[in-house]
Amino acid sequence: MPNFLIKNATIFNEGQSFVADVWVENNQILAVQENIVPAANTQVIDATGLWLLPGIIDDQVHFREPGLTHKGNIASESRAAVAGGITSYMEQPNTFPNAVTQDLLEDKYQIAATQSYANFSFLMGGTNDNLEELLKTNPKNVAGIKLFLGSSTGNMLVDNPEVLEQIFSSTPLIIDVHCEDETTIKTNLAQYKEQYGDAIPVTAHHLIRSTEACYLSSSKAVALAQKTGARLHVFHLSTAKEMSLFRNDIPLQEKKITAEVCVHHLWFTNDDYAAKGNFIKWNPAVKTAADREALWEALNDDRIDVIATDHAPHTLEEKSKPYTEAPSGGPLVQHALVAMLEAHFQGKITVEKLVQKMAHNPAILFQIEKRGFIKPGYFADLVLVHPNDPWTVSKDNILYHCGWSPFEGTTFKAKITHTFVNGHLAYANGQVSEIKAGKRLLFDRK
Closest CA to 362 of 384, 388, 396, 336: 336
Q: Is 310 a catalytic residue?
A: yes
Closest CA to 311 of 406, 232, 396, 393: 406
Phi-psi region of 331 (alpha: psi -120 to 50; beta: other; left: phi over 0): beta
What is the 8-class DSSP label of residue 390? -
Amino acid at site 416: I
- Determine which one of 46, 310, 381, 444 is catalytic: 310
| CB contact at 8 A, 140 and 445 | yes
Instruction: Please provide residue 145's backbone torsions phi and psi, each rounded to the nearest 5 degrees.
Output: -115, 140
Closest CA to 56 of 337, 296, 334, 302: 337
| CB contact at 8 A, 408 and 393 | yes
End-to-end CA distance of the chain: 33
For the residues of 213-267, what is the DSSP string, one character each?
HHHHHHHHHHHHHHHHT--EEE-----SGGGGG---SS-GGG-SEEEEEEHHHHH
For residue 66, is the peptide bond before it cis, meaning its omega torsion is within 30 degrees of 0?
yes
| 334 alpha carbon, distance to own chain's centre | 11
Residue 213 pairs in a beta bridge with: none
- Size of the chain in residues: 446
SS3 52: strand
Please list the active-site residues.
Answer: 310
